[in-house]
């Protein structure tokens, strides 16, 4: 399902939203404009065209975690291999201050393009807005998951424990194999000799 979006990076959230979109489409017969829309569904109507469709989409969206499709989506939408998460913080303050409003008014009086000299300080404060978007911190935390133990370490640990508690080593294992081969050899060839020794012997009498 996610491959049909033709995006470079897989994101579990988008895959989950596609599942929700299919659920809304099956139940309500329309598409939720808040979720991604695949090209194959472009011919379907949008749920915001009438009030009943909007209510149907909102109500059934809360019922999605209890539907059989939810469990299938949890399997078909695994966690992505790499994720970048940004923490967002907002802060606000009164702008501008009285002192800065007076500076803006004086600046407008000197600049003919910005006519603020005829405005009062309260008018400037009520009609001024300053927005600043920036990184709070340029450092970042990188979290990488690695196997706690590799296959080589597992085999080494098992071999070490066997050697410690019951004295098994690689040479001991080879000796055990050698004993098994010798036992099989003795059983096979000894049986052939016994069978030959038990064969009847015919003696022709002399007249």
For residues 63 and 32, is the Cβ–Cβ distance under 8 A? Answer: no
Residue 171 lies in a domain: yes
Examine the domain organization and report whether 71 and 6 are in the same domain. yes
Is residue 151's pLDDT more than 70?
yes
Query: Which of residues 76, 106, 122 is at a domain's end?
Result: 76
Distance CA 24, CA 12 (A): 18
Examine the domain organization and report whether 13 and 66 are in the same domain. yes
Examine the domain organization and report whether 70 and 14 are in the same domain. yes
Examine the domain organization and report whether 56 and 110 are in the same domain. no
Determine the pLDDT at residue 192. 58
Examine the domain organization and report whether 37 and 7 are in the same domain. yes
Structurally, the chain folds into a number of domains equal to 3
32-73, pLDDT tens digit by residue?
888 877 767 666 778 777 788 888 888 888 888 888 888 888
Is residue 170's pLDDT more than 80?
no
Compute, in degrees rounded to 10, the torsion defined by CA atoms 184, 189, 193, 194.
20
**CATH number for the domain that contains residue 18:** 1.10.287
Least confident of 11-15, 41-45, 139-143, 156-160: 41-45
Name which of 41, 172, 18, 143 is nearest 85 in CA terms.
143
95-146, pLDDT tens digit by residue?
888 888 887 777 765 555 566 777 788 887 888 888 888 887 787 777 777 8
64-69 contacts at long range (C-beta below 8 A, 24 or more positions apart): 64/19, 64/20, 64/23, 67/23, 69/19, 69/22, 69/23
Examine the domain organization and report whether 63 and 12 are in the same domain. yes
Distance CA 168, CA 186 (A): 26
* Domain that includes residue 42, residue range: 2-76
Q: How many CB atoms lie within 10 A of CB 31?
A: 23
For residues 89 and 136, is the Cβ–Cβ distance under 8 A? Answer: yes
Examine the domain organization and report whether 71 and 101 are in the same domain. no
Distance CA 169, CA 178 (A): 14
Determine the pLDDT at residue 199. 53
Residue 24 lies in a domain: yes
The secondary element (H helix, E strand) that includes residue 123 is helix 121-126
Examine the domain organization and report whether 102 and 167 are in the same domain. no
With cut-offs at 50, 70 and 90, classify the pLDDT of residue 197.
low
Placement of tokens 């096979």 in the chain: 188
**pTM (2 decimals)?**
0.44
- Average model confidence (pLDDT) for the chain? 76
Q: Residue 31 has what DSSP assignment?
A: B
Examine the domain organization and report whether 68 and 106 are in the same domain. no
Backbone phi, psi, residue 101, to 5°: -65, -40
Backbone phi, psi, residue 14, to 5°: -65, -40
For residues 48 and 33, is the Cβ–Cβ distance under 8 A? Answer: yes
Residue 29 lies in a domain: yes
């Amino acid at each position: 399902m996610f491959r049909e979006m033709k995006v470079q990076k897989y994101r579990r959230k988008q895959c989950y939203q596609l599942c929700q979109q299919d659920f809304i489409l099956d139940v309500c017969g329309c598409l939720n404009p808040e979720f991604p829309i695949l090209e194959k569904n472009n011919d379907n109507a949008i749920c915001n065209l009438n009030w009943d469709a909007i209510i149907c989409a909102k109500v059934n969206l809360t019922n999605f975690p209890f539907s059989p499709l939810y469990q299938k989506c949890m399997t078909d939408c695994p966690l992505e291999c790499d994720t970048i998460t940004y923490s967002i913080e907002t802060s606000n303050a009164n702008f501008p201050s009285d002192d800065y409003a007076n500076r803006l008014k004086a600046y407008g009086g000197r600049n003919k393009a910005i006519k603020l000299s005829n405005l009062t300080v309260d008018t400037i404060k009520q009609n001024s807005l300053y927005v600043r978007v920036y990184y709070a911190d340029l450092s970042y935390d990188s979290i990488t998951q690695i196997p706690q133990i590799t296959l080589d370490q597992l085999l080494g640990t098992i071999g070490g424990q066997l050697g410690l508690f019951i004295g098994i080593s690689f040479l001991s294992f080879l000796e055990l194999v050698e004993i098994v081969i010798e036992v099989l050899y003795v059983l096979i060839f000894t049986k052939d000799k016994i069978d030959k020794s038990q064969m009847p012997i015919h003696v022709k009498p002399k007249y």
